[in-house]
Structure 1
Amino acid sequence: MKIHNFNAGPSILPKEVVKKSAQSVINFNDTGLSVLEISHRSMDFLEIIEKTTFLIKRMMGLNEDYAVLFLQGGATLQFSMIPYNLMYKKAAYLDTGFWAYNAIKEAKKFGVVKVLFSGKNINYTSIEKDYHIPCNMDYFHCTSNNTIVGTQMKIFPKTSTPIVCDMSSDIFSRKLDFCQFSLIYASAQKNIGSAGMTIVIIKKEILGKNKKNIPSYMDYKIHIQNNSILNTPNVFSIYTSMLTLEWIENQGGLFVLEKKNQHKAKLLYNEIDKNSLFENKIHEENRSNMNVSFFLKNKDLEKEFNKIWKKENIVGLDGHRYLGGYRASIYNALPLESVQFLIEIMKEFERKFS
């Protein structure tokens, strides 16, 4: 039975990754041990973490100026770790969605936060481009893709201020100049691997400037010194991330995946725009290629539409509980076939109820 998985996270993984990781749970690399049983200080695991780090740096074009960490606590913990490590007096933030707003709330506990733009009053339907980053900011924080509402930053500012970016829901989905960022963080359960691990990529020169007495687990420098094994890391999630990165390279890398993701998104947005029963409320220039939100113009039809797509083995299409409507998350591993199938369901629904 074919399942069309549009879950926002934890989300669809490449079939090859699921198969290899399932085999490793029974017998990892012919060791007779499960990957769930190997020591995080064994050579087997050190090889995993070294290869995953290597693949990330190669894919993003980063040199030894950057460190890669594999931490726990989700992107949510980073909302506090970032200001703890980087904020001396004040920082600039963009409020472009629910998670960006939460990051701002946490940062205010550590110092002054200057919000350069907030889309809250317009229900986060667009992202301002004409904002100015004051030169006296310790860093500038943005969220590249807003999972709940379905907006995405297409360009990033040119600034001498260190740029910190939450890429949880669109990392490894497109080609970017990753050297423009001083810190990138992303939770794993979308385009990277299984849930339970967060990748943090740091330009090492930005650390150690605020002279705070930081608790050990919150201190990036200590994690770098300990190669992400200050405590027991999420071995399985790091392993599935390595497999996913290998899959990305086998697909042709970020450039190829970006083209595929753009094509999937364009097909779905075109159907929403021309279908008389549906609408998308996001400004066209800010539409996400990862999370497509849409609504029925007539809410009375929701029960009928829900019945149809669920019967056709589509899962994860419900909108976020704070927003309602529908959300199709079309991450790297979601095949074009699933997008085309959803489009046919929407067309048939229009023929029946328009």
Structure 2
Amino acid sequence: MLGDIERLVVTESPSADLAAVAHSAGVVAALGRAHLGADPELIVLDGRTHLRWRLGSGPRRVLLLAHHDTVWPLGTLAAHPFEVREGVLRGPGCFDMKTGLVMAFHALAVLAAPDRTDGVTLLVTGDEELGSPSSRELIETEARGCAAALVLEASADGGALKTERKGVSRYEVTVHGRAAHAGLEPERGVNATVETAHQILAVAGLADAAAGTTVVPTVLAAGTTTNTVPAQGRFAVDVRVRDAAEQDRVDTAVRALRPVLEGAAVEVTGGPNRPPLQRTSSALLYRRAQHRATGLGIGPLSAAAVGGASDGNFTAGIGTPTLDGLGAVGGGAHADHEHVLTAEIPRRTALLAALIHDLTEGSNR
């Protein structure tokens, strides 16, 4: 398994580099062929390469969901090479989420017999780190009708499974004012910087800590020169919510923004990007995983609610029971200290295999 992980990690695959992602898809396809004995379907959408293995001929029952793109630019390996030392594996994308992808291949290979994988689909996308712009419809289509979606994203702290993820909305608010000379006749202008400040405060006020809702103005720009009343300003907004009602509340409020200064105008683009993965969607699968972990002697498991989103938000959003965080145990996603604890890899792979077998057997445990 370490050799397979190395093979994927040294194949750099930044999401925005279409050629790199296509090359990575070829490496993933070869690795999957070696373990599953079958070629995937290569699905190219908007230039981004995704892979799909549909095992067996029966109705789709279980969706395994992974991605092979990363946030790391080409050349990162020079400063952060793949290495395994003292039980810790390092390298760009090892934790998020190339180890989880390797675990999926090995779990399916362990099950081996066709009747134990019949109805299982493994979908590996190539644009998750961008928000899955081309693959969302593909993911939702594959998830419909399945009894479960198992997401191979890395675990939460301490190896906890992710039983709840916040939904995500993203907006850009553009403020239109009127330019004028800042020294000679500022009164003839409509100051977009001042209007933008009003709007930022209004947006930030939509947060609700008690409900777990965060509304964070992020990237900001306004004006052109230091002696000109700014004619335009814009800022981005990141919203995270625990439930659909909160996502709707914030969306309605952001779209209802109105200018404070006479002569200014406010334009809002964007909206909900990922629905919440609520605990009700993961509860039954989490109990199944706990039962299997106990039987394997690798329990007890723990659960976590996290603010970050994944493609599991999409599967939960269409009503498919979803359990996330089944991949690597470690830490440092998107950071220089990204790492995986090697001792946990076989244990978590065994749990994944047992859970797939449980679901394809139709057990009610």
TM-score w.r.t. length of structure 2: 0.22
Hey, which of these two has a bigger chunk of strand by percent?
2
